[in-house]
Amino acid sequence: MEAERKLIEYICESNFGDIPPQPLNVVKNMVLTVLGTTIAGAQAEGCEQLVDLYRDLGGTAEATILNYGDKIPAENAAFVNGVMARALDFCDAMEPGLHIGSSVVPAALAAAELAGNCGGRQFLTAVTAGTEVAARLNLTEAAYDGFDPTGVCAVFAAAAAAAKMLQLEPAKTWNALALAFNKSGGSFQSNIDGSLAVRVIQGWVAQSGVSCARLARAGITGPKRFLEGVYGYFHLYGKDLLNPEGAVSGLGEKFEFENLMFKKFPSCGGTLGSTDAILSLIAEKQLEPEMIDHIDVAVPPYMHKLVGHEFQIGENPRVNAQFSIQYCVASALIRKSAKLNHFEESSVRDPDIMPLAQKVRVISDPALDKRGHTALDMQVFTTNGNTYLKKMDIAPGFPGNPLTQAEHEERFRDCINFAARPIERHSAEEIISLVARLEDLEDIRTLIPLIGD
């Protein structure tokens, strides 16, 4: 049980002073990102229905539904807030598809309200610890093999953060993560089919993190060998492909979550490179839609499975568009940008989109795996016989090609501008300012009234 022991020691013993400046900055940007996407996603498809559902269910008023102001049981608040945070798919992520922030931040905020007065340093420490736990337990494409990384792995982040916020002792923190192991699950078929389950899984993860911490606090136990046991995490989900010792080596000294990706555009991470490539070619070659004969986009096989399928509009047009290279390229060609409103149903159903999307062919190329997870080769063939090539190894926002701080803040402002339930401009700027100095907050709950009603 060495891996489990080291993981629990890290969670329980970590302090704010142990967090170096760069990882701290990543965590602050994750918090800012999630607050922005929650505000922007508050009225996305399915979110208002969930708010109404959980209002009607009632229960003890423990934690806030962000942007609405209602107080409901902490687990349920974490669920609804997690769904809203992921609804527009504009949140942080980590290869090969793990979304941490949209669960760990709602879980930590709900736990903070449950616990009472929690300072900014405690909150940052809890979110940092939880995020690092998920980053360490993140698996490979081969190991996940169709499981949703968020549903499988991010639940440990939410449970760790909630346990830290509730100041659970080591034995109970151990049980919180062990119980979280039994909540792991979810399939990428939700993404491929464009279903609302993508965002619901994110909410379930946040909800499970809070509930597992509360169950552990009440004395409910989980399997001690939840990582290394014969039927533990590294066997069931890791398929014995990973070394448990490697996953916990250097905890607190090296921060794997520095590999988080923050999206430059509001669509699946697998589409960001293609969007950036076509926008670059538009700027360089003054491309217009009528000039396009066809476009070939070669991507690694994993990305092809996720976002390379034929674009079709199903039950959820936004998700269909977000998980389609064909749509993202066609939309960027027509609109010369990629904004949140370009994934609204009215934009997705624009009659000019489909004929252009059908000119985009996405090709699975195993050789690109050697160049990186987001590598691509784009060839644009014009009607006058010209061919333009754009190669990319690292998509924007991924490690090695990060966003600037100004871009992070602009993304937040874009979310506020898009929101159907917008907050006041001065509140938006105050949130940016408070997150930048979150460690100085005496009570993290100060943020909550700024986020809507």
Mean pLDDT across the stretch 118-126?
A: 97
> Hey, what are 87's tokens?
């609804």
C-alpha–C-alpha distance, residues 55 and 280, integer Å? 46
| Residue 22 pLDDT | 97
C-alpha–C-alpha distance, residues 369 and 439, integer Å? 40
Q: Is the pLDDT of residue 315 over 90?
A: no
C-alpha–C-alpha distance, residues 392 and 375, integer Å? 5
> Hey, what are 452's tokens?
């809507």
Mean pLDDT across the stretch 49-73?
A: 97
| pLDDT digits 0-9 by tens, 166-179 | 999 999 999 999 99
Q: Is the pLDDT of residue 453 over 70?
A: no
C-alpha–C-alpha distance, residues 397 and 130, integer Å? 22
| pLDDT digits 0-9 by tens, 211-220 | 999 999 999 9
Q: Is the pLDDT of residue 422 over 90?
A: no
Mean pLDDT across the stretch 282-288?
A: 97
List of domains in the chain:
2-262+404-450 (1.10.4100.10), 269-392 (3.30.1330.120)
Mean pLDDT across the stretch 5-10?
A: 98
First to last CA, the chain: 47
| Residue 145 pLDDT | 95
Mean pLDDT across the stretch 388-401?
A: 96
| Residue 129 pLDDT | 98
Q: What is the mean pLDDT of the chain?
A: 96
